[in-house]
Amino acid sequence: MRKGRRETVEVRIGTTEAKKFLEGFGPGKVGVEDVAIVESMSVYLSADDPDAFEIKTQSPEAQQVKLAPEDTARFQDFGRWVWFVKPLRTGDHGLTVKVWLASRDRQGNPTSKSLPGKVVRVTVRVDWWGMVVVAAWRSAAAAALAIVSEVAKEFLWPLLWPAVSHLLFG
């Protein structure tokens, strides 16, 4: 990841075979883990160091997940959780994915269970190219402002000075 450059982080959970499940992922690290699946699940993403990342949730935390092929009419093939993650500090950091299972016990009472968190190690580097582009734009803007200022001083000031001096000094 690059400092200051927003990335999309996505977690998918479902019974679909992994090959189909991974279609549509962009570049970046992709991993497959086995996890228990129930009909209602919640997934959370957090940073080990809260000052290292800005994390914005882009999908509902609790979602319905298809358990069997016959559930196609009721559910998607998989639950899909998405976050926008912007690294704020360089270095090695951890992002933790936490999964909660919501189900009912034998008496029909709602219950939930947290699975062990999965820590993904991330190395954040300086975005040198982005810094060069920003510096170039700032330099171009400063040069344009200097040129406009000189043009105004050379051409507009002689036209405006008589009116301004008349107002100020009578």
Residue 122 lies in a domain: yes
pLDDT at 132: 80
Overall pTM surpassing 0.95 (yes/no):
no
Residue 153 lies in a domain: yes
Contacts of 1 (CB under 8 A, 6+ apart): 7, 85, 87, 122, 123, 124, 125
Domain interval for residue 110: 7-126
Residues 51, 22 share a domain: yes
Residue 2 lies in a domain: no
Tally Cβ neighbours within 10 Å of residue 45. 21
Separation of alpha carbons 98 and 146, rounded Å: 53
Residues 139, 116 share a domain: no
Residues 65, 135 share a domain: no
Residue 1 lies in a domain: no
Residues 40, 24 share a domain: yes
pLDDT at 31: 65
In order along its 170 residues, the chain shows pLDDT tens digits of 889 989 999 888 876 555 554 555 556 666 666 666 677 889 999 999 999 999 999 999 888 776 655 555 555 567 889 999 999 999 999 999 998 888 777 887 888 888 888 888 989 988 777 668 777 888 888 888 888 888 777 777 777 778 878 888 87
Residues 101, 27 share a domain: yes
Domain count, the chain: 2
pLDDT at 54: 97
Residue 138 lies in a domain: yes
Separation of alpha carbons 103 and 41, rounded Å: 9
Cβ proximity of 50 and 88 under 8 Å:
no
Residues 22, 64 share a domain: yes
Residues 132, 65 share a domain: no
pLDDT at 70: 57
